[in-house]
Structure 1
Amino acid sequence: MRNLILILFLILLLALGLYLYIYYQCRWAKEVKVNLLSDKVDKKLKITQVSDFHSNVLKNMDYFKNKILKFNPDIIILTGDINDYGVKEKFDKAVDFLKEISSLGIKTYYITGNHEEAGPMLDEFISEIGMLNIDYLKNEGEILKLKDNLVYVYGITYYNYDFSKYEPEDNSLNIILSHYSKNVRDNIDDSMDFVFSGHTHGGQVRIPFIGALFAPGEGVFPKFDKGVKRYKNTTIYIDSGLGNTLMNLRFLNRIQFSNITINKRQ
Protein backbone atom coordinates (compact mmCIF):
# COMPACT_ATOMS: atom_id res chain seq x y z
CA MET A 1 0.00 0.00 0.00
CA ARG A 2 2.86 2.37 0.86
CA ASN A 3 4.45 1.76 -2.56
CA LEU A 4 1.15 2.39 -4.31
CA ILE A 5 0.72 5.70 -2.49
CA LEU A 6 4.27 6.69 -3.42
CA ILE A 7 3.65 5.85 -7.09
CA LEU A 8 0.40 7.83 -7.14
CA PHE A 9 2.14 10.77 -5.48
CA LEU A 10 4.91 10.73 -8.09
CA ILE A 11 2.37 10.55 -10.91
CA LEU A 12 0.54 13.51 -9.39
CA LEU A 13 3.78 15.48 -9.16
CA LEU A 14 4.63 14.64 -12.78
CA ALA A 15 1.15 15.68 -13.96
CA LEU A 16 1.39 18.93 -11.99
CA GLY A 17 4.85 19.64 -13.42
CA LEU A 18 3.64 19.00 -16.96
CA TYR A 19 0.63 21.27 -16.42
CA LEU A 20 2.81 24.11 -15.10
CA TYR A 21 5.26 23.68 -17.99
CA ILE A 22 2.49 23.86 -20.59
CA TYR A 23 0.89 26.82 -18.82
CA TYR A 24 4.23 28.66 -18.88
CA GLN A 25 4.74 27.85 -22.59
CA CYS A 26 1.27 29.27 -23.35
CA ARG A 27 1.41 32.49 -21.31
CA TRP A 28 5.02 33.78 -21.15
CA ALA A 29 6.26 35.03 -24.51
CA LYS A 30 9.85 34.79 -25.67
CA GLU A 31 11.79 36.97 -28.09
CA VAL A 32 13.14 35.22 -31.19
CA LYS A 33 15.92 36.99 -33.08
CA VAL A 34 16.08 36.37 -36.83
CA ASN A 35 18.85 37.46 -39.19
CA LEU A 36 18.20 37.68 -42.93
CA LEU A 37 20.22 38.92 -45.91
CA SER A 38 19.37 40.88 -49.03
CA ASP A 39 21.16 42.64 -51.88
CA LYS A 40 18.47 45.33 -51.82
CA VAL A 41 19.22 46.97 -48.49
CA ASP A 42 21.89 49.61 -48.04
CA LYS A 43 21.43 49.93 -44.29
CA LYS A 44 20.25 47.44 -41.72
CA LEU A 45 16.46 47.09 -41.68
CA LYS A 46 14.69 46.00 -38.50
CA ILE A 47 11.18 44.51 -38.31
CA THR A 48 9.21 43.18 -35.35
CA GLN A 49 6.69 40.50 -36.28
CA VAL A 50 3.71 39.62 -34.08
CA SER A 51 1.34 36.89 -35.18
CA ASP A 52 -1.53 34.68 -33.99
CA PHE A 53 -2.20 36.30 -30.63
CA HIS A 54 -5.67 34.70 -30.60
CA SER A 55 -6.88 36.94 -27.78
CA ASN A 56 -4.38 35.36 -25.41
CA VAL A 57 -3.20 36.69 -22.04
CA LEU A 58 0.50 37.58 -21.82
CA LYS A 59 1.89 37.26 -18.32
CA ASN A 60 5.04 39.16 -19.32
CA MET A 61 3.63 42.13 -21.23
CA ASP A 62 6.33 44.47 -19.88
CA TYR A 63 9.03 42.11 -21.18
CA PHE A 64 7.29 42.00 -24.58
CA LYS A 65 7.14 45.79 -24.88
CA ASN A 66 10.62 46.41 -23.51
CA LYS A 67 12.21 43.93 -25.91
CA ILE A 68 10.54 45.67 -28.85
CA LEU A 69 11.57 49.12 -27.64
CA LYS A 70 15.15 47.96 -27.10
CA PHE A 71 15.22 46.42 -30.59
CA ASN A 72 13.83 49.70 -31.98
CA PRO A 73 12.32 48.32 -35.21
CA ASP A 74 11.66 50.44 -38.27
CA ILE A 75 8.20 48.86 -38.53
CA ILE A 76 6.00 46.35 -36.70
CA ILE A 77 4.01 43.80 -38.73
CA LEU A 78 0.94 42.00 -37.36
CA THR A 79 0.37 38.93 -39.52
CA GLY A 80 -3.18 37.94 -38.65
CA ASP A 81 -5.34 36.15 -36.07
CA ILE A 82 -4.73 38.78 -33.42
CA ASN A 83 -8.43 38.44 -32.59
CA ASP A 84 -10.00 35.02 -32.09
CA TYR A 85 -13.44 34.66 -33.69
CA GLY A 86 -14.64 38.00 -32.37
CA VAL A 87 -16.76 37.10 -29.34
CA LYS A 88 -16.92 40.13 -27.02
CA GLU A 89 -14.50 38.94 -24.35
CA LYS A 90 -11.89 37.88 -26.90
CA PHE A 91 -12.49 41.01 -28.94
CA ASP A 92 -11.71 43.17 -25.91
CA LYS A 93 -8.54 41.21 -25.15
CA ALA A 94 -7.32 41.66 -28.72
CA VAL A 95 -8.06 45.40 -28.73
CA ASP A 96 -6.31 45.87 -25.37
CA PHE A 97 -3.28 44.05 -26.79
CA LEU A 98 -3.22 46.32 -29.84
CA LYS A 99 -3.42 49.36 -27.57
CA GLU A 100 -0.22 48.16 -25.90
CA ILE A 101 1.48 47.88 -29.29
CA SER A 102 0.15 51.23 -30.47
CA SER A 103 1.53 52.88 -27.33
CA LEU A 104 5.06 52.07 -28.54
CA GLY A 105 4.73 54.74 -31.23
CA ILE A 106 6.19 52.60 -34.05
CA LYS A 107 4.66 52.44 -37.53
CA THR A 108 2.58 49.24 -37.59
CA TYR A 109 0.91 47.22 -40.35
CA TYR A 110 -1.87 44.69 -39.87
CA ILE A 111 -3.40 41.98 -42.05
CA THR A 112 -6.32 39.69 -41.26
CA GLY A 113 -6.14 35.95 -40.63
CA ASN A 114 -8.74 33.23 -41.03
CA HIS A 115 -10.12 33.62 -37.49
CA GLU A 116 -10.85 37.30 -37.92
CA GLU A 117 -12.33 36.90 -41.39
CA ALA A 118 -14.49 33.88 -40.50
CA GLY A 119 -15.79 35.29 -37.22
CA PRO A 120 -18.12 38.13 -36.32
CA MET A 121 -17.13 41.70 -35.45
CA LEU A 122 -14.53 42.06 -38.21
CA ASP A 123 -15.73 45.53 -39.19
CA GLU A 124 -15.62 46.64 -35.56
CA PHE A 125 -12.11 45.26 -35.20
CA ILE A 126 -10.90 47.08 -38.32
CA SER A 127 -12.46 50.27 -36.98
CA GLU A 128 -10.57 49.88 -33.69
CA ILE A 129 -7.34 49.32 -35.63
CA GLY A 130 -7.88 52.55 -37.54
CA MET A 131 -8.41 54.52 -34.33
CA LEU A 132 -5.11 53.13 -33.02
CA ASN A 133 -3.28 54.44 -36.13
CA ILE A 134 -2.40 50.92 -37.25
CA ASP A 135 -2.36 50.56 -41.05
CA TYR A 136 -4.62 47.80 -42.36
CA LEU A 137 -3.46 46.33 -45.67
CA LYS A 138 -6.25 44.61 -47.59
CA ASN A 139 -4.72 43.29 -50.83
CA GLU A 140 -2.74 46.49 -51.21
CA GLY A 141 0.71 47.86 -50.65
CA GLU A 142 2.71 50.88 -49.62
CA ILE A 143 6.14 52.21 -50.52
CA LEU A 144 8.36 53.28 -47.62
CA LYS A 145 11.75 54.95 -47.32
CA LEU A 146 13.42 53.41 -44.29
CA LYS A 147 17.04 54.33 -43.53
CA ASP A 148 17.80 54.93 -47.22
CA ASN A 149 16.13 51.61 -48.06
CA LEU A 150 13.27 51.60 -50.54
CA VAL A 151 10.76 49.10 -49.09
CA TYR A 152 7.47 47.92 -50.56
CA VAL A 153 5.08 46.28 -48.08
CA TYR A 154 2.13 44.40 -49.58
CA GLY A 155 -0.47 42.71 -47.40
CA ILE A 156 -3.09 40.17 -48.42
CA THR A 157 -6.23 38.76 -46.84
CA TYR A 158 -6.63 35.09 -45.96
CA TYR A 159 -9.66 34.03 -48.03
CA ASN A 160 -10.07 36.49 -50.90
CA TYR A 161 -6.40 37.28 -51.37
CA ASP A 162 -5.53 39.22 -54.48
CA PHE A 163 -2.26 40.30 -56.09
CA SER A 164 -3.75 42.52 -58.79
CA LYS A 165 -2.52 45.66 -56.97
CA TYR A 166 0.94 44.27 -56.36
CA GLU A 167 3.13 46.92 -58.03
CA PRO A 168 6.62 47.14 -56.54
CA GLU A 169 9.05 49.87 -57.50
CA ASP A 170 12.25 49.24 -59.42
CA ASN A 171 14.89 47.98 -56.98
CA SER A 172 12.55 48.09 -53.99
CA LEU A 173 12.84 45.48 -51.26
CA ASN A 174 9.53 43.67 -51.62
CA ILE A 175 7.87 42.29 -48.49
CA ILE A 176 4.64 40.30 -48.54
CA LEU A 177 2.50 39.96 -45.44
CA SER A 178 0.36 36.83 -45.66
CA HIS A 179 -1.19 35.06 -42.70
CA TYR A 180 -0.83 31.72 -44.52
CA SER A 181 2.36 31.40 -46.54
CA LYS A 182 0.82 28.93 -49.01
CA ASN A 183 -1.38 31.72 -50.37
CA VAL A 184 1.83 33.33 -51.60
CA ARG A 185 3.63 30.11 -52.49
CA ASP A 186 0.80 29.32 -54.92
CA ASN A 187 1.22 32.74 -56.54
CA ILE A 188 4.94 33.29 -56.19
CA ASP A 189 6.67 36.02 -58.16
CA ASP A 190 10.44 36.27 -58.46
CA SER A 191 10.23 39.91 -57.38
CA MET A 192 8.95 38.86 -53.93
CA ASP A 193 11.97 39.03 -51.63
CA PHE A 194 10.45 38.13 -48.26
CA VAL A 195 7.16 36.65 -47.08
CA PHE A 196 6.23 37.01 -43.42
CA SER A 197 3.52 34.64 -42.20
CA GLY A 198 2.01 32.82 -39.25
CA HIS A 199 -1.04 30.51 -39.09
CA THR A 200 0.76 27.27 -38.23
CA HIS A 201 1.60 28.06 -34.57
CA GLY A 202 4.68 25.98 -35.23
CA GLY A 203 2.40 23.00 -34.79
CA GLN A 204 1.95 24.00 -31.10
CA VAL A 205 3.43 20.59 -30.15
CA ARG A 206 6.95 19.87 -31.36
CA ILE A 207 9.17 16.82 -31.04
CA PRO A 208 13.00 17.01 -30.92
CA PHE A 209 14.71 16.27 -34.28
CA ILE A 210 11.29 16.03 -35.97
CA GLY A 211 9.59 19.38 -35.50
CA ALA A 212 5.85 19.90 -35.70
CA LEU A 213 3.59 16.87 -35.72
CA PHE A 214 0.84 18.74 -37.56
CA ALA A 215 0.12 22.28 -38.73
CA PRO A 216 -3.15 23.67 -40.14
CA GLY A 217 -3.12 23.68 -43.92
CA GLU A 218 0.32 22.05 -44.02
CA GLY A 219 -0.62 18.54 -42.89
CA VAL A 220 1.36 15.96 -40.92
CA PHE A 221 5.10 16.53 -40.31
CA PRO A 222 4.92 19.80 -42.28
CA LYS A 223 7.86 21.37 -44.04
CA PHE A 224 6.51 24.90 -43.64
CA ASP A 225 5.91 24.80 -39.90
CA LYS A 226 8.01 27.66 -38.45
CA GLY A 227 11.21 29.56 -39.00
CA VAL A 228 13.10 30.57 -42.13
CA LYS A 229 12.30 28.66 -45.32
CA ARG A 230 13.50 29.10 -48.87
CA TYR A 231 10.93 28.74 -51.66
CA LYS A 232 12.20 29.26 -55.20
CA ASN A 233 13.81 32.73 -55.12
CA THR A 234 11.89 33.93 -52.06
CA THR A 235 12.66 33.74 -48.35
CA ILE A 236 9.69 32.86 -46.16
CA TYR A 237 9.64 33.41 -42.41
CA ILE A 238 6.86 31.75 -40.39
CA ASP A 239 6.37 32.99 -36.85
CA SER A 240 4.78 30.42 -34.52
CA GLY A 241 2.74 33.07 -32.76
CA LEU A 242 1.64 34.37 -29.37
CA GLY A 243 -1.48 32.25 -28.92
CA ASN A 244 -3.28 28.98 -29.49
CA THR A 245 -6.45 27.53 -30.95
CA LEU A 246 -8.67 24.63 -29.88
CA MET A 247 -6.87 24.40 -26.52
CA ASN A 248 -4.10 26.10 -24.59
CA LEU A 249 -1.41 23.63 -25.51
CA ARG A 250 2.23 24.29 -26.25
CA PHE A 251 5.03 21.74 -25.90
CA LEU A 252 8.66 22.56 -26.72
CA ASN A 253 7.25 25.54 -28.61
CA ARG A 254 6.79 28.51 -26.30
CA ILE A 255 4.71 31.41 -27.60
CA GLN A 256 6.89 33.99 -29.31
CA PHE A 257 7.36 37.23 -31.19
CA SER A 258 10.18 37.88 -33.66
CA ASN A 259 12.71 40.69 -33.92
CA ILE A 260 14.01 40.42 -37.48
CA THR A 261 17.11 42.09 -38.90
CA ILE A 262 17.72 42.28 -42.65
CA ASN A 263 21.36 43.03 -43.42
CA LYS A 264 23.04 43.72 -46.72
CA ARG A 265 24.50 40.60 -48.29
CA GLN A 266 28.27 40.98 -48.54
Structure 2
Amino acid sequence: MKKFRTVYHTINTHRIIPGKTVRFAVLADLHGLEFGPGNEWLIQKIQECSPDAVLVSGDVIVRNCTDTFDTAAELLTRLAESYPVFYALGNHEYKLYTADPGENGLAEEYLKYEERLKKVGVRILHNQCELLEAEGCPFTVYGLEIPLIYYKKPKSPMLQTEEIQQLIGKPDQDRVNLLLAHNPKYGNAYFEWGADLIFSGHYHGGIVRFGRNKGILSPQFQLFPPYCCGAFHRKNQHMYVSAGLGEHTIPVRIHNPRELLIVDYRGREEK
Protein backbone atom coordinates (compact mmCIF):
# COMPACT_ATOMS: atom_id res chain seq x y z
CA MET A 1 0.00 0.00 0.00
CA LYS A 2 1.43 3.38 -1.03
CA LYS A 3 1.74 5.96 1.75
CA PHE A 4 2.82 9.57 1.97
CA ARG A 5 3.57 12.02 4.75
CA THR A 6 2.60 15.67 5.09
CA VAL A 7 5.49 18.12 5.56
CA TYR A 8 4.75 21.58 6.92
CA HIS A 9 6.76 24.77 6.44
CA THR A 10 6.06 28.26 7.79
CA ILE A 11 7.34 31.59 6.47
CA ASN A 12 6.89 34.62 8.71
CA THR A 13 6.58 37.76 6.61
CA HIS A 14 5.61 41.40 6.92
CA ARG A 15 3.90 41.24 3.50
CA ILE A 16 0.68 39.83 4.97
CA ILE A 17 -1.49 41.38 7.68
CA PRO A 18 -0.25 40.21 11.10
CA GLY A 19 -2.29 37.27 12.30
CA LYS A 20 -3.30 36.25 8.76
CA THR A 21 -1.95 33.18 6.95
CA VAL A 22 -2.07 32.07 3.31
CA ARG A 23 -1.66 28.31 2.94
CA PHE A 24 -0.42 26.47 -0.15
CA ALA A 25 -0.66 22.73 -0.81
CA VAL A 26 2.13 21.65 -3.15
CA LEU A 27 1.95 18.54 -5.37
CA ALA A 28 4.95 17.24 -7.29
CA ASP A 29 5.89 14.11 -9.22
CA LEU A 30 2.75 12.09 -8.65
CA HIS A 31 3.52 10.09 -11.82
CA GLY A 32 0.03 8.64 -11.93
CA LEU A 33 0.04 7.07 -8.47
CA GLU A 34 -3.12 6.70 -6.44
CA PHE A 35 -3.40 6.93 -2.67
CA GLY A 36 -6.66 5.13 -2.07
CA PRO A 37 -9.36 4.70 -4.73
CA GLY A 38 -9.53 7.87 -6.81
CA ASN A 39 -6.74 9.37 -4.65
CA GLU A 40 -9.27 9.72 -1.86
CA TRP A 41 -6.63 9.68 0.91
CA LEU A 42 -4.63 12.44 -0.76
CA ILE A 43 -7.73 14.55 -1.40
CA GLN A 44 -8.89 14.06 2.19
CA LYS A 45 -5.55 15.24 3.60
CA ILE A 46 -5.59 18.33 1.39
CA GLN A 47 -9.15 19.09 2.50
CA GLU A 48 -8.10 18.73 6.15
CA CYS A 49 -5.33 21.29 5.54
CA SER A 50 -7.74 23.81 3.91
CA PRO A 51 -5.27 25.50 1.55
CA ASP A 52 -5.94 28.79 -0.17
CA ALA A 53 -4.50 27.33 -3.38
CA VAL A 54 -3.05 24.10 -4.75
CA LEU A 55 0.27 24.42 -6.59
CA VAL A 56 1.35 21.67 -8.97
CA SER A 57 5.02 21.69 -9.92
CA GLY A 58 4.93 19.08 -12.66
CA ASP A 59 5.18 15.39 -13.59
CA VAL A 60 1.71 14.47 -12.42
CA ILE A 61 1.62 11.96 -15.31
CA VAL A 62 3.91 9.44 -16.98
CA ARG A 63 4.36 10.49 -20.58
CA ASN A 64 4.08 7.00 -22.13
CA CYS A 65 1.12 5.82 -20.07
CA THR A 66 -2.27 7.32 -20.89
CA ASP A 67 -3.85 5.66 -17.85
CA THR A 68 -1.97 8.17 -15.72
CA PHE A 69 -3.63 11.01 -17.66
CA ASP A 70 -7.02 9.89 -16.36
CA THR A 71 -5.73 9.42 -12.82
CA ALA A 72 -4.23 12.91 -12.77
CA ALA A 73 -7.25 14.54 -14.41
CA GLU A 74 -9.65 13.01 -11.91
CA LEU A 75 -7.52 14.21 -8.98
CA LEU A 76 -7.08 17.76 -10.26
CA THR A 77 -10.74 18.00 -11.24
CA ARG A 78 -11.76 17.12 -7.69
CA LEU A 79 -9.34 19.66 -6.25
CA ALA A 80 -10.45 22.41 -8.67
CA GLU A 81 -13.97 22.09 -7.29
CA SER A 82 -12.76 23.58 -4.01
CA TYR A 83 -9.49 25.44 -4.63
CA PRO A 84 -7.65 27.48 -7.23
CA VAL A 85 -5.25 25.03 -8.90
CA PHE A 86 -2.11 26.28 -10.65
CA TYR A 87 -0.21 23.76 -12.78
CA ALA A 88 3.29 24.10 -14.26
CA LEU A 89 4.57 21.32 -16.51
CA GLY A 90 7.33 18.90 -15.64
CA ASN A 91 9.49 17.18 -18.23
CA HIS A 92 6.97 14.36 -18.71
CA GLU A 93 4.20 16.80 -19.67
CA TYR A 94 6.50 19.12 -21.60
CA LYS A 95 7.83 16.36 -23.88
CA LEU A 96 4.27 15.62 -24.99
CA TYR A 97 3.17 19.26 -25.12
CA THR A 98 6.01 20.11 -27.54
CA ALA A 99 5.66 16.95 -29.67
CA ASP A 100 3.83 16.93 -33.00
CA PRO A 101 0.32 15.50 -32.39
CA GLY A 102 0.21 14.38 -36.02
CA GLU A 103 3.22 12.14 -35.46
CA ASN A 104 2.73 11.19 -31.84
CA GLY A 105 -0.60 9.76 -30.73
CA LEU A 106 0.35 10.23 -27.09
CA ALA A 107 0.87 13.95 -27.71
CA GLU A 108 -2.66 14.16 -29.09
CA GLU A 109 -4.00 12.42 -25.99
CA TYR A 110 -2.00 14.78 -23.81
CA LEU A 111 -3.58 17.85 -25.43
CA LYS A 112 -7.00 16.36 -24.71
CA TYR A 113 -5.90 15.95 -21.09
CA GLU A 114 -4.99 19.65 -20.91
CA GLU A 115 -8.32 20.69 -22.43
CA ARG A 116 -10.13 18.54 -19.91
CA LEU A 117 -8.36 20.32 -17.06
CA LYS A 118 -8.89 23.79 -18.48
CA LYS A 119 -12.64 23.17 -18.71
CA VAL A 120 -12.82 22.62 -14.93
CA GLY A 121 -10.75 25.72 -14.15
CA VAL A 122 -7.23 24.37 -13.66
CA ARG A 123 -4.78 27.17 -14.57
CA ILE A 124 -2.10 25.56 -16.75
CA LEU A 125 0.81 27.97 -16.99
CA HIS A 126 2.81 27.70 -20.23
CA ASN A 127 5.48 30.28 -19.36
CA GLN A 128 2.56 32.39 -18.18
CA CYS A 129 1.35 33.87 -14.94
CA GLU A 130 -1.95 34.19 -13.11
CA LEU A 131 -2.99 36.50 -10.29
CA LEU A 132 -4.12 35.29 -6.89
CA GLU A 133 -5.53 37.39 -4.04
CA ALA A 134 -5.61 35.82 -0.58
CA GLU A 135 -5.97 37.39 2.86
CA GLY A 136 -5.53 40.82 1.32
CA CYS A 137 -2.16 39.88 -0.22
CA PRO A 138 -1.55 40.08 -3.99
CA PHE A 139 0.32 37.11 -5.47
CA THR A 140 1.48 36.39 -9.00
CA VAL A 141 1.93 32.69 -9.82
CA TYR A 142 4.38 31.96 -12.64
CA GLY A 143 4.78 28.60 -14.40
CA LEU A 144 8.22 28.16 -15.95
CA GLU A 145 8.75 25.76 -18.87
CA ILE A 146 12.38 25.33 -19.86
CA PRO A 147 13.55 23.65 -23.09
CA LEU A 148 14.25 19.92 -22.90
CA ILE A 149 17.99 20.44 -23.28
CA TYR A 150 17.97 21.52 -19.62
CA TYR A 151 16.85 17.99 -18.68
CA LYS A 152 19.58 16.29 -20.71
CA LYS A 153 21.36 13.30 -19.13
CA PRO A 154 23.96 13.19 -17.70
CA LYS A 155 24.89 16.83 -18.31
CA SER A 156 22.81 19.86 -19.21
CA PRO A 157 23.76 23.50 -19.72
CA MET A 158 23.35 26.06 -16.97
CA LEU A 159 20.24 28.20 -17.11
CA GLN A 160 20.85 31.94 -16.98
CA THR A 161 18.60 34.52 -15.36
CA GLU A 162 18.32 36.34 -18.68
CA GLU A 163 16.83 33.22 -20.27
CA ILE A 164 14.17 33.05 -17.56
CA GLN A 165 13.31 36.70 -18.24
CA GLN A 166 12.94 35.91 -21.94
CA LEU A 167 10.52 33.10 -21.09
CA ILE A 168 8.34 34.71 -18.40
CA GLY A 169 9.45 38.34 -18.11
CA LYS A 170 10.54 40.07 -14.92
CA PRO A 171 8.80 39.60 -11.57
CA ASP A 172 6.27 42.19 -10.43
CA GLN A 173 7.85 44.22 -7.64
CA ASP A 174 4.45 45.17 -6.19
CA ARG A 175 3.28 41.58 -5.67
CA VAL A 176 4.51 38.39 -4.02
CA ASN A 177 5.96 36.31 -6.85
CA LEU A 178 5.50 32.52 -6.76
CA LEU A 179 7.54 30.51 -9.25
CA LEU A 180 6.58 26.94 -10.14
CA ALA A 181 9.76 25.55 -11.69
CA HIS A 182 9.96 21.77 -11.99
CA ASN A 183 13.74 21.29 -12.19
CA PRO A 184 15.54 22.43 -9.00
CA LYS A 185 18.97 22.17 -10.63
CA TYR A 186 18.64 25.84 -11.54
CA GLY A 187 17.79 27.13 -8.07
CA ASN A 188 20.47 29.83 -8.24
CA ALA A 189 18.91 31.27 -11.40
CA TYR A 190 15.43 31.20 -9.83
CA PHE A 191 16.66 33.16 -6.82
CA GLU A 192 18.51 35.64 -9.02
CA TRP A 193 15.42 36.10 -11.20
CA GLY A 194 13.70 37.47 -8.12
CA ALA A 195 11.09 34.91 -7.03
CA ASP A 196 9.82 35.30 -3.47
CA LEU A 197 8.66 31.68 -3.28
CA ILE A 198 9.93 28.85 -5.49
CA PHE A 199 8.37 25.38 -5.72
CA SER A 200 10.18 22.50 -7.45
CA GLY A 201 10.31 18.72 -7.55
CA HIS A 202 11.85 16.43 -10.21
CA TYR A 203 14.60 14.88 -8.03
CA HIS A 204 12.28 12.52 -6.12
CA GLY A 205 14.25 13.33 -2.98
CA GLY A 206 17.50 12.10 -4.47
CA ILE A 207 16.41 8.42 -4.50
CA VAL A 208 18.42 7.66 -1.32
CA ARG A 209 18.33 10.49 1.20
CA PHE A 210 20.73 11.43 3.99
CA GLY A 211 18.93 13.99 6.14
CA ARG A 212 16.45 16.52 4.85
CA ASN A 213 18.50 18.22 2.13
CA LYS A 214 20.94 15.60 0.84
CA GLY A 215 20.28 12.82 -1.65
CA ILE A 216 22.47 10.60 -3.79
CA LEU A 217 21.20 10.99 -7.34
CA SER A 218 19.09 13.23 -9.55
CA PRO A 219 17.04 11.92 -12.52
CA GLN A 220 19.80 13.39 -14.71
CA PHE A 221 22.29 11.09 -12.96
CA GLN A 222 23.97 13.95 -11.12
CA LEU A 223 25.57 12.73 -7.88
CA PHE A 224 24.71 14.57 -4.65
CA PRO A 225 22.74 17.29 -6.44
CA PRO A 226 22.33 20.67 -4.74
CA TYR A 227 18.78 21.81 -4.00
CA CYS A 228 17.93 18.12 -3.71
CA CYS A 229 15.04 18.26 -1.25
CA GLY A 230 13.67 20.47 1.50
CA ALA A 231 13.80 24.21 2.19
CA PHE A 232 16.43 26.69 1.02
CA HIS A 233 16.52 30.39 1.90
CA ARG A 234 18.19 33.60 0.77
CA LYS A 235 17.13 36.43 3.05
CA ASN A 236 13.45 36.92 2.21
CA GLN A 237 13.42 34.43 -0.67
CA HIS A 238 12.42 30.81 -0.10
CA MET A 239 12.70 27.66 -2.22
CA TYR A 240 10.89 24.39 -1.46
CA VAL A 241 11.85 21.21 -3.26
CA SER A 242 9.43 18.35 -2.77
CA ALA A 243 10.56 14.72 -2.54
CA GLY A 244 7.43 14.07 -4.59
CA LEU A 245 4.51 11.70 -4.27
CA GLY A 246 5.63 9.13 -6.83
CA GLU A 247 8.67 7.97 -8.72
CA HIS A 248 9.77 7.04 -12.22
CA THR A 249 12.84 5.67 -14.02
CA ILE A 250 14.48 4.60 -10.74
CA PRO A 251 11.53 3.30 -8.67
CA VAL A 252 13.46 3.28 -5.40
CA ARG A 253 13.08 5.29 -2.20
CA ILE A 254 15.39 4.77 0.78
CA HIS A 255 14.97 7.01 3.85
CA ASN A 256 12.97 9.10 1.42
CA PRO A 257 9.20 9.04 2.03
CA ARG A 258 6.69 10.40 -0.46
CA GLU A 259 5.35 13.75 0.61
CA LEU A 260 2.69 16.41 0.33
CA LEU A 261 4.02 19.88 1.11
CA ILE A 262 2.02 22.45 3.06
CA VAL A 263 3.54 25.93 3.10
CA ASP A 264 2.11 28.69 5.32
CA TYR A 265 2.86 32.31 4.47
CA ARG A 266 2.14 33.99 7.78
CA GLY A 267 1.91 37.68 8.62
CA ARG A 268 4.12 39.13 11.34
CA GLU A 269 4.59 42.53 12.93
CA GLU A 270 7.16 44.87 11.40
CA LYS A 271 10.27 45.21 13.59
Same fold (TM over 0.5): yes
Instruction: Tell me the equivalent position of 2:158.
Output: none
- Note the 1:59-208 alignment, pairs <5 A: 59=36, 61-103=39-81, 105-119=82-96, 120-121=106-107, 122-159=110-147, 162-164=164-166, 165-183=168-186, 185-186=188-189, 188-189=191-192, 191-207=194-210
Contact 1:218 1:225 (8 Å CA) reproduced = no
- Distance across 1 between alignment mates of 2:111 and 2:186: 23
How many residue pairs get aligned? The number is 240
Structure 1 runs of 4+ off > 4 angstroms?
Answer: none
* Contact persistence 2:213–2:228 (CA under 8 A): no
- Partner of 1:50 in structure 2? 27
- Report the residue type matching 1:37 in the other structure: N
Residues 1:221 and 1:67: Cα distance change in structure 2 (over 3 Å): same
Flag the 1:36–1:232 CA change in 2: closer, same or farther, 3 A.
closer
Q: TM-score, normalised by structure 2?
A: 0.79
Alignment RMSD (CA, Å): 2.5
- Which residue of the partner structure matches residue 252 of structure 1? 255
1:37 to 12, 15, 32: 12
CA distance in 2, matches of 1:79, 1:48: 11
Measure how far apart 1:208 and its partner are.
5.2
C-alpha distance after superposition, 1:54-110 (max 9, x if no partner)? 11122383332222112211110011000111432232222233233334x111000
Question: 1:94 & 1:237 partners in 2: Cα distance?
Answer: 22
Task: Determine which structure has more spread, i.e. the larger CA radius of gyration.
Answer: 1
Shift of residue 173, structure 1, vs aligned partner: 1.0
Taking only the aligned residue pairs, the percentage that are identical comes to 22
5+ residue gaps in structure 1? 1-23
Query: C-alpha displacement at 1:207, in angstroms?
Result: 3.5
Q: Check 1:259–1:208 CA distance in 2 against 1; reply closer, same or farther (3 A cut).
A: closer
C-alpha separation in 1, matches of 2:256 and 2:89: 23
Which range moved further: 184-193 or 131-140? 184-193
Deviations 1:22-54, CA, capped at 9 Å, x for gaps = xx5xx2122111112333222311100001111
CA distance in 1, matches of 2:128, 2:21: 25
Deviations 1:143-175 (A, max 9, x none): 222111111111111327743443544431111
Instruction: In structure 2, list runs of 5 or more residues that go unmatched.
Output: 97-105, 149-162
Shifted more, 208-217 versus 254-263: the winner is 208-217
